[in-house]
Amino acid sequence: MTLSASAPLALVPLVVVAALLVGLLWPASRAMPVAWAAAAGVAFLAWGMPPEWILAASVNGAMAAVEILWIVLGALVLLYTLMNSGAVDRINAGFASISDDRRVQVVLLGFFLATFIEGVAGFGTPAAVVAPLLLALGFPAFAAVVAALIGHAVATVFGAVGTPIIVGFQQPLDAVSEAIGAGGFESVAAYATAAGGWAAVFNGLLGLFIPFIAVVMVVYFFGAVDAEERSLGPALAVAPLCLFAGVAFAVPYVASAWFVGPELPSLIASMAGGGAVVATLRAGYLLPDEEWEFPPREEWPGHWVGSIEPGSETASAEAATTGGTGGGAGGADGAEMSLLRAWSPYVALVVLLIGTRVIDPIATFLQEGPGMTIAVSNVLGTDIGGAIGWAYVPGTWLLASALIAVPVLGMSTDEVTSAWREAAGKIVSPAVSLVFVIAMVEVMLQTAAHPGAAADGSMIVVLADATASTFGAAYPLFAPVVGTLGAFIAGSITVSNVTFAAFQFEIAQELGLSTQLLVGAQTVGAAIGNTIAIHNVIAALATVGLVGKTGRVVRLNLIPVAYYVGVGGLLTAVFVYVLFPGVF
């Protein structure tokens, strides 16, 4: 089968997803089983993938979904623990001491907190943690998800302590190690670090405006119920703050990528930049003259909110009606609780995540120690295997933080029971969607793995090949699109890099262009692709009790995607052809 014939077929599952989710606004629980069936049908009929391989790939996808659901469960348990204890009331008061302005909260939480958590954990954790926190502070659920997804995008390049570079680049580029050596690099790891430096430059420049874009999206689409009353004015009023936040993040981000390595840029940038912005605000600089707030709650349309009522007061009321007394030690003294005590579960979370990822003996034991991973190999007699790293996945440490919070916040048994019961109830609906979307991805990735598979490559590779062959010398303009495609399908910048980093390298060599710059540009699309990755969106929506609105979120987030990919492509072309044509 030729590339021209196979590419449209490989596109079928994505067309189904786009048509049902974005076009018809089907809930993901209905759309994704249909998309999986489409992928399975194309894999069987066009790629000759045996049924047992299709089922094995789907089982592997289901196992990956379990890990994501574990993260969502942990985030929900932690959220309800803070709600029932009264800690959310104190956290809200703490932010009010800086500013009650929702635009400022988008910058502090939606950007800096999200990028910090991305640097520590990655893999969907930031949106799963930050979105429910914004919800608890009074944001509409829809707005909370949009802000959290956009805000963390730039940090995904070095998320989970550099995993997208250390694993996402090094693993696939081992296949071209000889060419890398010929380019003057001692090892693939050294090359990956260098390419990561260029990735930081691209994303650092683009990320300058991410805080502003996040604020624009919240202000414009959630500042008025009537579309005719929407205005960019409130967003422009905080443009200086947003630009300062972007610069405060970008400078240490790029510097640490070049001079420290790929493990810590997102962590260093979020801490240094966030600290600088908080200090500036506390000193009275860059604060907006007038406070901005969402429209009155009673005016919000139904798709803005889900089953969890926004705002700490209503959240506490809901907790009381679902079994929490609200009158335990935590619930009773929420107003007098110290800010450090209220934040202590999140402090514990950060310490646990850093410790389990940065301290090598601990990280190694949690990933490779006896009983730390539930692994399945040769599923249905195929070469496909999967594993659930229950001990290492952030969900375990989210739950641990929730348990630590119980004595620290002085919660009663009823309050704890209520928190866990509510969290478990909220995770049921998105489970079907997640299982089928990741099963679809695995089928598409494995279409070239079975014995006798065609040499064209998997459905994913065929789509990338078609993109490159279509654009030729203009390819640098569209290089980020490949990364976006991978992240949109797989929901992970790491998987996108694993799938397409070697492809970007080979295309660069075929066209006689800089391999480092094109491999770096791969992360541009992959980073922003996380904001529309179906299972990331589903997981984030689940944490705020808003199920079935995946298409709406994807449609809205296509706006920042268009900016990031479009300007990123222009930057790539300028770097490749004008500024740094001699870089290997």
Identify which of 336, 319, 109 has the alpha carbon closest to the alpha carbon of residue 215: 109
Lookup: tokens for 512: 């006689």
Report if residue 207 sits inside a domain: yes
- Cα–Cα distance for residue pair 546/148, rounded to 1 Å: 14
CA angle 578–579–584, rounded 5-degree value:
100
Q: What is the DSSP string of 274-323?
A: HHHHHHHHHTT-S--SS---PPPGGG--GGG--SS-SSHHHHHHHHHHTT
Task: Mark residue 305 as left, alpha or beta (left: phi above 0; alpha: psi -120 to 50; beta: remaining).
Answer: beta
Integer Cα distance of 145 and 142 in angstroms: 5
pLDDT in tens, the chain (584 residues): 666 678 899 989 988 988 887 788 787 788 889 999 999 999 999 999 999 999 999 998 888 888 878 887 887 788 789 888 988 778 767 776 788 899 999 999 999 999 988 887 777 778 888 998 899 889 999 999 999 999 999 999 998 878 899 888 987 888 788 889 999 999 998 999 999 999 999 999 999 999 999 999 999 999 998 888 899 999 999 999 999 999 999 999 999 999 988 888 998 999 899 999 999 999 999 999 999 999 999 999 999 998 888 984 444 444 333 334 344 444 445 557 888 898 888 888 888 888 887 788 998 999 889 999 898 989 999 988 888 888 988 889 889 999 999 999 999 999 999 989 888 887 776 788 778 888 888 898 889 889 888 777 888 778 777 877 888 899 999 999 989 988 887 677 987 888 788 889 988 988 889 999 999 999 999 999 999 988 789 889 988 999 888 889 999 999 999 999 999 999 999 999 999 999 99
Gyration radius of the chain over CA positions: 23
- The structure tokens listed for 461 are 């590779």
Domain membership flag for residue 516: yes
Instruction: Tell me whether residue 116 is exposed, middle or buried, using C-beta atoms within 10 angstroms of its C-beta: 0 to 12, 13 to 18, 19 or more.
Output: buried
CA 568 to each of CA 133, 363, 431, 512, 580: distance values in angstroms, whole numbers, following the listed order: 31, 34, 34, 20, 15
Are the beta carbons of 409 and 85 closer than 8 angstroms? yes
Other Cβ atoms less than 10 A from the Cβ of 63: the count is 21
Q: How far is CA 8 from the centre of its chain?
A: 28
57 closest CA partner among 432, 388, 435: 435
The number of domains in the chain is 1
User: Collapsing DSSP states into helix, strand and coil, what is residue 324?
Assistant: coil
Q: Is the dihedral of CA 297, 302, 305, 306 positive or negative?
A: positive
Give the domain extent around 221.
3-579
d(CA 433, CA 401): 27
Tokens 């949690």 label which residue?
366
Q: Judge contact between 22 and 554, C-beta under 8 A.
A: yes
* Residue listed under structure tokens 């954990």: 121
* Residue 138 near residue 469, CB atoms below 8 Å: no
Tell me the pairing of strands 386-388 and 374-376: antiparallel
Entry pTM: 0.78
E strand intervals along 340-491: 374-376, 386-388
Question: Which pLDDT belongs to residue 314?
Answer: 44
User: Are the C-beta atoms of 437 and 27 separated by less than 8 Å?
Assistant: no
Alpha-carbon span 358 to 369, nearest angstrom: 17
Do residues 83 and 315 touch, judged by C-beta distance below 8 A? yes
Cα maximum dimension of the chain: 69
Structural domain contains residue 584: no
Q: How many CB atoms lie within 10 A of CB 581?
A: 12
Residue 8, phi then psi, degrees to nearest 5: -60, -35
Gap between the Cα atoms of 545 and 248, Å rounded: 33
Separation of alpha carbons 229 and 218, rounded Å: 14
* 49 located within any domain: yes
Element (H, E) at 481: helix 475-490
d(CA 499, CA 172): 7
Contacting residues for 154 by C-beta, under 8 A, at least 6 apart: 115, 203, 204, 206, 207, 210, 249, 253, 527
Q: Is 196 exposed, middle or buried (0-12, 13-18, 19+ CB in 10 A)?
A: buried
Closest CA to 140 of 8, 375, 302, 370: 302
* pLDDT the model gives residue 335: 55
Torsion angle in degrees (nearest 10) through CA of 75, 79, 81, 86 = 160
| Residue 299: inside a domain | yes
Produce one character per residue of 223-236: b if its CB has 16 or more CB atoms within 10 Å, e if not: beeeeeeeeeebbe
DSSP helix/strand/coil, 375:
strand
What pLDDT shows up at residue 264? 84
Q: Judge whether 517 lies within some domain.
A: yes
* Cβ atoms of residues 429 and 350 within 8 Å: no
Across-strand partners of 337?
A: none
Q: Which DSSP state fits 144?
A: H
Instruction: Let me know if residue 531 belongs to a domain.
Output: yes
